[in-house]
Amino acid sequence: MDDHAIIELFYSRSETAIHETSQKYGNYCSRIAMNILANKEDSEECVSDTYFKTWNAIPPQRPEVLRSFLGRITRNLSLNRYKEKRRQKRGGDEVDLLLSELEGCVSSDHTVETELERGRIAGTINKFLYSIEIEHRVIFIRRYWYVDSISSIAKRLGVSESKVKSVLFRTRNRLRAYLEKEGVWI
Protein backbone atom coordinates (compact mmCIF):
# COMPACT_ATOMS: atom_id res chain seq x y z
CA MET A 1 0.00 0.00 0.00
CA ASP A 2 1.38 3.42 -0.82
CA ASP A 3 1.98 6.02 1.86
CA HIS A 4 -0.83 8.26 0.72
CA ALA A 5 -3.35 5.42 1.18
CA ILE A 6 -1.97 4.62 4.64
CA ILE A 7 -2.33 8.24 5.71
CA GLU A 8 -5.92 8.24 4.44
CA LEU A 9 -6.59 5.19 6.62
CA PHE A 10 -5.34 7.16 9.62
CA TYR A 11 -7.61 10.04 8.65
CA SER A 12 -10.61 7.72 8.40
CA ARG A 13 -9.66 6.32 11.85
CA SER A 14 -9.38 2.81 10.46
CA GLU A 15 -7.27 0.55 12.65
CA THR A 16 -6.02 -1.09 9.49
CA ALA A 17 -3.72 1.95 9.31
CA ILE A 18 -1.65 0.51 12.16
CA HIS A 19 -1.48 -2.90 10.51
CA GLU A 20 -0.40 -1.46 7.15
CA THR A 21 2.17 0.80 8.83
CA SER A 22 3.56 -2.12 10.73
CA GLN A 23 3.74 -4.27 7.60
CA LYS A 24 5.56 -1.62 5.61
CA TYR A 25 7.70 0.14 8.19
CA GLY A 26 7.88 -2.24 11.16
CA ASN A 27 11.37 -3.49 10.30
CA TYR A 28 12.61 0.02 9.61
CA CYS A 29 11.43 1.29 12.99
CA SER A 30 12.67 -1.82 14.80
CA ARG A 31 16.15 -1.37 13.40
CA ILE A 32 16.35 2.22 14.63
CA ALA A 33 15.12 1.23 18.08
CA MET A 34 17.50 -1.75 18.28
CA ASN A 35 20.46 0.41 17.23
CA ILE A 36 19.79 2.73 20.13
CA LEU A 37 18.56 0.36 22.80
CA ALA A 38 20.23 -2.94 21.89
CA ASN A 39 17.35 -4.67 23.64
CA LYS A 40 14.58 -6.53 21.84
CA GLU A 41 11.88 -6.04 24.45
CA ASP A 42 12.49 -2.32 24.88
CA SER A 43 12.68 -1.90 21.12
CA GLU A 44 9.37 -3.64 20.53
CA GLU A 45 7.71 -1.39 23.10
CA CYS A 46 9.15 1.71 21.43
CA VAL A 47 7.90 0.57 18.04
CA SER A 48 4.42 -0.07 19.49
CA ASP A 49 4.50 3.36 21.10
CA THR A 50 5.47 4.78 17.71
CA TYR A 51 2.24 3.47 16.20
CA PHE A 52 0.25 4.85 19.12
CA LYS A 53 1.85 8.29 18.77
CA THR A 54 1.31 8.22 15.03
CA TRP A 55 -2.35 7.33 15.57
CA ASN A 56 -2.69 10.39 17.80
CA ALA A 57 -0.73 12.65 15.47
CA ILE A 58 -2.51 11.86 12.17
CA PRO A 59 -4.82 13.71 11.87
CA PRO A 60 -4.27 16.62 12.19
CA GLN A 61 -0.75 16.16 10.82
CA ARG A 62 -0.19 14.97 7.27
CA PRO A 63 3.45 13.83 6.94
CA GLU A 64 5.23 14.58 3.70
CA VAL A 65 7.50 11.56 4.11
CA LEU A 66 5.80 8.89 6.20
CA ARG A 67 8.97 6.81 6.56
CA SER A 68 10.93 9.70 8.09
CA PHE A 69 7.96 10.73 10.23
CA LEU A 70 7.78 7.26 11.79
CA GLY A 71 11.56 6.96 12.08
CA ARG A 72 11.77 10.27 13.88
CA ILE A 73 9.16 9.25 16.44
CA THR A 74 10.90 5.91 17.01
CA ARG A 75 14.25 7.61 17.40
CA ASN A 76 12.90 10.11 19.92
CA LEU A 77 11.11 7.45 21.95
CA SER A 78 14.15 5.20 21.91
CA LEU A 79 16.56 7.97 22.93
CA ASN A 80 14.23 8.97 25.76
CA ARG A 81 14.11 5.39 26.94
CA TYR A 82 17.88 5.16 26.60
CA LYS A 83 18.31 8.24 28.80
CA GLU A 84 15.95 6.79 31.35
CA LYS A 85 17.89 3.54 31.40
CA ARG A 86 21.16 5.37 31.77
CA ARG A 87 19.81 7.24 34.76
CA GLN A 88 19.14 3.83 36.20
CA LYS A 89 22.70 2.87 35.24
CA ARG A 90 21.59 0.22 32.84
CA GLY A 91 22.94 1.91 29.71
CA GLY A 92 26.40 2.01 28.20
CA ASP A 93 26.48 1.06 24.54
CA GLU A 94 26.49 2.51 21.02
CA VAL A 95 24.86 5.77 22.11
CA ASP A 96 27.54 6.41 24.73
CA LEU A 97 30.17 5.95 22.09
CA LEU A 98 28.30 8.20 19.71
CA LEU A 99 27.91 10.94 22.34
CA SER A 100 31.63 10.87 23.01
CA GLU A 101 32.25 11.29 19.28
CA LEU A 102 29.94 14.29 19.16
CA GLU A 103 31.84 15.96 22.02
CA GLY A 104 34.26 17.04 19.30
CA CYS A 105 31.54 19.11 17.62
CA VAL A 106 30.47 21.16 20.61
CA SER A 107 32.18 24.10 22.19
CA SER A 108 33.97 23.20 25.40
CA ASP A 109 35.20 26.62 26.44
CA HIS A 110 32.52 29.03 25.28
CA THR A 111 30.79 30.46 28.30
CA VAL A 112 28.32 32.87 26.68
CA GLU A 113 24.95 31.23 26.97
CA THR A 114 23.18 31.90 23.72
CA GLU A 115 20.46 29.40 24.08
CA LEU A 116 18.92 29.07 20.68
CA GLU A 117 15.39 27.99 20.29
CA ARG A 118 14.99 24.31 19.58
CA GLY A 119 15.02 23.82 15.88
CA ARG A 120 17.25 26.71 14.85
CA ILE A 121 20.34 24.66 15.49
CA ALA A 122 18.79 21.85 13.48
CA GLY A 123 18.19 24.33 10.65
CA THR A 124 21.88 25.21 10.66
CA ILE A 125 22.80 21.52 10.68
CA ASN A 126 20.44 21.04 7.71
CA LYS A 127 22.24 23.75 5.77
CA PHE A 128 25.58 22.21 6.59
CA LEU A 129 24.48 18.75 5.53
CA TYR A 130 23.11 19.99 2.23
CA SER A 131 26.44 21.70 1.56
CA ILE A 132 28.63 18.61 1.82
CA GLU A 133 29.22 15.63 -0.47
CA ILE A 134 26.28 13.25 -0.59
CA GLU A 135 28.28 10.22 0.52
CA HIS A 136 29.67 12.06 3.51
CA ARG A 137 26.16 13.24 4.39
CA VAL A 138 24.78 9.72 4.24
CA ILE A 139 27.56 8.35 6.42
CA PHE A 140 27.02 11.15 8.97
CA ILE A 141 23.26 10.62 9.10
CA ARG A 142 23.56 6.84 9.28
CA ARG A 143 25.81 7.26 12.30
CA TYR A 144 24.16 10.13 14.17
CA TRP A 145 20.53 9.83 13.16
CA TYR A 146 20.11 6.10 12.69
CA VAL A 147 22.81 5.26 15.29
CA ASP A 148 24.27 2.61 12.97
CA SER A 149 27.55 1.05 14.07
CA ILE A 150 30.71 1.83 12.10
CA SER A 151 30.86 -1.73 10.79
CA SER A 152 27.24 -1.63 9.71
CA ILE A 153 27.78 1.59 7.74
CA ALA A 154 30.90 0.14 6.12
CA LYS A 155 28.99 -2.97 5.08
CA ARG A 156 26.02 -1.00 3.83
CA LEU A 157 28.11 1.28 1.64
CA GLY A 158 30.75 -1.24 0.65
CA VAL A 159 33.67 0.70 2.11
CA SER A 160 36.23 -0.02 4.80
CA GLU A 161 35.60 0.80 8.44
CA SER A 162 38.66 3.04 8.44
CA LYS A 163 37.14 4.97 5.55
CA VAL A 164 33.90 5.45 7.50
CA LYS A 165 35.85 6.62 10.53
CA SER A 166 37.86 9.04 8.43
CA VAL A 167 34.75 10.54 6.86
CA LEU A 168 33.06 10.90 10.25
CA PHE A 169 36.15 12.47 11.75
CA ARG A 170 36.40 15.07 9.00
CA THR A 171 32.67 15.74 8.89
CA ARG A 172 32.51 16.34 12.65
CA ASN A 173 35.38 18.80 12.37
CA ARG A 174 33.71 20.54 9.46
CA LEU A 175 30.41 20.70 11.35
CA ARG A 176 32.07 22.24 14.36
CA ALA A 177 33.74 24.89 12.19
CA TYR A 178 30.44 25.55 10.40
CA LEU A 179 28.47 25.94 13.63
CA GLU A 180 31.06 28.35 14.97
CA LYS A 181 31.02 30.36 11.74
CA GLU A 182 27.24 30.60 11.98
CA GLY A 183 27.49 31.75 15.61
CA VAL A 184 25.84 28.60 16.94
CA TRP A 185 27.31 27.50 20.25
CA ILE A 186 25.96 24.34 21.71
Partner 1 sequence: MKSEKLLDEIGLIDDRLIAEAETYEAKRKKKKGRWLGLAAVAACAAIIFSLGLIPKEPDPSLGLPKLTINENMGDYGFEGFLAYDVKELSDGNPWNENDRIDTLPVFRNPVSYDAAGLPINGLSEEQMMQTAKDTAETMELAIDSVSLSASGDEAVAICGDVTINAEPDGGIRIIFGSSVQLPEEYRFTFHDTTQKEAQDVLQYLLSEYQAVSGLKSPSLSLFGDYNINGQRTFSYDAFESEGDFIQRILGYNFNRISFSPDDEGKLWIIDRYKANLSQKIGDYPIITAQKARELLLQKKYITSVPEKMPGEKMIAGVELIYRTSHYDEIFMPYYRFLVELPSMKMENGLKTFGAFYVPAVGEAYLTNMPRWNGNFN
Give contact residues for partner 1 (rule: CB under 8 A).
28, 38, 63-65, 67-69, 71-72, 75-76, 79, 83, 93-95, 98-107, 118-119, 121-122, 125-126, 129-130, 133-139, 141-142, 144-146, 151, 155-159, 161-163, 165-167, 169-170, 172, 186
Q: What region does 61 belong to: left with phi over 0, alpha with psi -120 to 50, or beta? A: beta
For residue 5, the minimal CB distance to partner 1 (Å) is 18
The dihedral built from the CA positions of residue 30, 31, 32 and 38, taken in this order, carries a sign that is positive
Measured from the CB atom, is 5 or 186 closer to partner 1?
186
Q: Write down the least CB distance from residue 76 to partner 1, Å.
A: 6
Q: Measured between alpha carbons, how far is residue 177 from residues 24, 85, 127, 128, 133 in Å?
A: 39, 33, 13, 10, 16
Smallest separation, CB 122 to partner 1 (Å): 4
Q: Taking the chain, what is the end-to-end CA distance rounded to the nearest angstrom?
A: 42
| Residue number with CB closer to partner 1 (46 or 95) | 95
Question: To the nearest 5 percent, what fractions of the chain are helix, strand and coil?
Answer: 75, 0, 25
Compute the least distance from the CB of residue 3 to partner 1, in Å. 11
